Every structure is written in C-alpha cells, then in structure tokens.
Structure 1
Amino acid sequence: MNIKQIIPFLLLLTSFNFYGQDAGMKEKKEQIKTLKVAFLTTELDLTTREAEKFWPIYNTFDDKQFEIRHQKMRAFKSRMSDSAFNNMTEKEANALLTQMDSADEELYLLRKKFTKNLREVMSAKKIIKLKKSEEDFNRKLLHQYRSSKK
C-alpha cells in the first residue's frame, strides 16, 4: 500500500473517531439531562399545573444557557492555551475580556428573564428551591464524576 492510499484511509478513520466522540458526548448530555429532570421533579414536588408550565420554560432556558456556555466560551478557551496566551497582545487581551464580560452579561440577563417567567408559574420559595436543587444536582454529579475517576 502506498502513501496515497494510506492518507485517505487514515482521514476516514479519524473522521469516524471524531463522529463517535461527538455522539458519545450527546448521549452523555442526554443521560445527564434525564437524571437532572428526575432529580428536579422529585425535589421541587411540582403540581401538575406547575409542571406543565415549568418544563417548557426550564428547557428553553437550559438550552440557551448551554448554547452560551459551550459555544461562546469554547472560543475563549481556545485562545487561552499557553501558547496563544503567551503570544496575546494587550489589545487582544482587552478584546477577549470584553467578549467574556459580554457572555457573562448574556447569561445574567437570561437567568433574570428565566426567573421573571417562573414567577408567573410558581412561588418565589419554589424558585429558590429550584436554584438550590440545581446546585445540589451539580454537586452530586461532580462528586460522582470524581469518584469514578479514582
């Protein structure tokens, strides 16, 4: 087999590998989402009426939050590698800082709108309980991840 035959074969294998990783990440994300829904449902003890209105609002919020964090922040992370960071000018650093602040502000405004929408569906006490339940879920997930690494 000569080099002209090997290179397309290697590229094909590499593309399948990347596709497999992407599919694996989507599957893990769906598993986590399923666990989160079950956890929040139990913790919040929503009435049927509350649940019917809550889940569409929550899912929209969660999807937008994921998009902001993973699409916009991914661009920042690529520019934060040691080599990129060491070669960054002050002007580029200021521009990156401005973009990071913008993403943080976008997340804040999204959260604020989410809370406003929830006030029409449930009590303030349940909204606070939701925030606490999300933090508890994330803490448990992180603990479980750390335990599996050992």
Structure 2
Amino acid sequence: MNFKRILPFLLLLFTCNFYAQGNMSDKKEQIKALKVAFFTAELNLSSQEAEKFWPLYNTYDNKQFQLRHEKMKALKSKMSDDALNKMNENEASILLNQMEATDEELFLLRKKLNKSLRTILAPVKILKLKKAEDNFYRKLLQQYGDRGKKR
C-alpha cells in the first residue's frame, strides 16, 4: 500500500493520542515523530539521504526551537499592552533591535541548514522540505484549532 495514502490516517491516530497525553515532553516527542513520518513521505528520501539528512535537520530544529522559545518568549513578555504603554522610545528601540537580532539568527541558521543540505539533497528536495515544513505546521495548527472549537 502507498505510504502517502496511509499517512493521513497515521497523523490522525498520532494526533488523537497526542492530545490525550498530558506531559509536555511527551507531546514534543510525539510531534517530532509525526514530523518524521510526514517529511519522510513528502521528501521520499533514500536511505543514504535520510542517514545524512536527519542528524542535520534535528540539530537545526533543536537550535531554532531554542531560539524561538527562549529568546522570542523573553522578548514577547516585554510586549504586554501595559509594558508597551510604559515603554519610552529608547527602550522600544532596544527591544526592536533585540527582536531583529533574533530574526537574523533564525535566518542565518536556516541559511546554514540549506548550505549543508545542498551537499546531500537535490535543490528540489530542499524546496520540498520547506513546503513540507509549512504544510506540517499548518495542519498541526489547524488540528489544534479544531480541538479548541470542540471544547
């Protein structure tokens, strides 16, 4: 049977299990497993490509997660309505510069990943990766939104 036909069923199965769990680290691991299955189907990696791809991608994914959740979370905590209303122009400028620096770090991290991936994947597969990432996160957010509507 074609894996692409089974994938939606597997995603649904894992997603139901994902929402039933309570532990955050378990949820992160389940999302990672869903991502691996989704990307594997979308990218159609050979065993040699997968062997080289996953360590690179996992390193990238962990670093970008760290940047997004540590630095951006700290910056966004300073952007409450109350904090913004009390902020002077100099403080706002500093905060904006910090946000831009974090965005730049994320951009450079992605650029480094793409450069590394070019040594193991065809450019078309790198583009498919970007599309797969976008589609995966869109579906994840959609399922999370659908779950919220049922409550």
TM-score by length of 2: 0.82
Question: In structure 1, what is the equivalent of residue 64 of structure 2?
Answer: 65
- In the TM superposition, structure 1's runs of 4+ consecutive aligned residues that sit over 3 Å from their partners are none
Is structure 2 residue 85 aligned with structure 1 residue 80?
no
Question: In structure 2, what is the equivalent of residue 35 of structure 1?
Answer: 34
CA distance in 1, matches of 2:134, 2:90: 36
CA distance in 2, matches of 1:108, 1:60: 15
Residues 42-121 of structure 1: pairs in structure 2 closer than 5 A:
42-121=41-120
Paired AA for residue 137 in structure 2 = N
Cα deviations across residues 105-144 of structure 1 (Å, max 9, x unaligned)? 0000000000000000110000000000111101111111
Question: In structure 1, what is the equivalent of residue 19 of structure 2?
Answer: none
Is structure 2 residue 133 aligned with structure 1 residue 138?
no
Q: Following TM superposition, by how much is the alpha carbon of 1:24 offset from its aligned partner in structure 2, in angstroms?
A: 2.4
Unaligned stretches of 5+ in structure 1?
A: 1-22
Q: Which moved more, 1:27-36 or 1:88-97?
A: 27-36
Q: Secondary structure at the match of 1:146?
A: helix
RMSD value over aligned CA atoms? 1.0
Question: Which structure: larger Rg?
Answer: 1
Unaligned stretches of 5+ in structure 2?
A: 1-21
Cα deviations across residues 63-95 of structure 1 (Å, max 9, x unaligned)? 000011010001111101111111111100000
Q: Size of the alignment, in residue pairs? A: 128
Q: Secondary structure at the match of 1:122?
A: coil
CA distance in 1, matches of 2:25, 2:41: 24
Question: In structure 2, what is the equivalent of residue 125 of structure 1?
Answer: 124
Q: Following TM superposition, by how much is the alpha carbon of 1:25 offset from its aligned partner in structure 2, in angstroms?
A: 2.1
TM-score by length of 1: 0.83
Paired AA for residue 79 in structure 2 = M
CA distance in 2, matches of 1:47, 1:119: 15
Q: Which has the higher contact order (CA 8 A, sep 6+)?
A: 1
Q: Following TM superposition, by how much is the alpha carbon of 1:27 offset from its aligned partner in structure 2, in angstroms?
A: 1.8
